[in-house]
Amino acid sequence: MRGIKFRVWNTQMMEYLDEWGMDKIGWLQRASNRGLGYTLMQYTGLKDKNGVEIYEGDLWQDDEGVIGQVKDSNYGWIVTDLDALYDCLAYGHVVGNVHENPELLNEE
């Protein structure tokens, strides 16, 4: 069973809720929803082929060099421009996230 973990982007740096404490999750969610400069991202419960934890908002690169964004959907965790995240685990890895590496999404 996967643990529920979150991280938060605070417009300058990534913080992990182990450091913040889970008691702040409600406040962070409200701040995120109100556009106060915080973006809350959930851990998928999965790791890439290098053992890196995969979070919502991560950028995923497959072995063909295609980069997509990890997102939640009605069907589970997916990677945009790729198949379902579960299908990508065998041949891809996390290369960054949308907040710290937005330029990776603009590459052709």
Examine residue 25 and state whether it is found in any structural domain, yes or no.
yes
Average pLDDT over residues 76-85: 73
Domain count, the chain: 1
> What is the CATH classification number for the domain harbouring 75?
2.30.30.290
Q: Are 89 and 82 in contact (CB under 8 A)?
A: no
Q: What is the DSSP letter of 1?
A: -
Chain segment 31-41, per-residue pLDDT in tens: 666 666 778 88
- What pLDDT is attached to residue 86? 61
For residue 14, the surrounding DSSP H or E stretch is strand 14-16
Q: What is the DSSP string of 37-59?
A: S-EEEEEEEEE-TTSPEEETTEE
Mean pLDDT of the chain: 79
What is the Cα–Cα distance from 77 to 55, expressed in whole angstroms? Answer: 10
Q: Supply the range of the domain harboring residue 30.
A: 6-106
pTM of the model: 0.78
Given this model, what pLDDT does residue 19 score? 46
Rounded-to-integer distance, Cα 6 and Cα 11, Å: 16
Is the pLDDT assigned to residue 1 strictly greater than 60?
no
| DSSP code, position 12 | S
CB 99 within 8 A of CB 9: yes
Arithmetic mean of pLDDT, 73-84: 76
101 in a structural domain? yes
In a domain, 1, yes or no: no
Q: Say if 68 falls within a structural domain.
A: yes
Taking the CA atoms of 28, 9, 16 and 1 in sequence, report the sign of the dihedral they define: positive
Q: 82 falls in which pLDDT band (50, 70, 90)? A: low
pLDDT tops 70 at residue 3: no
Question: Which residue type occupies 23?
Answer: D
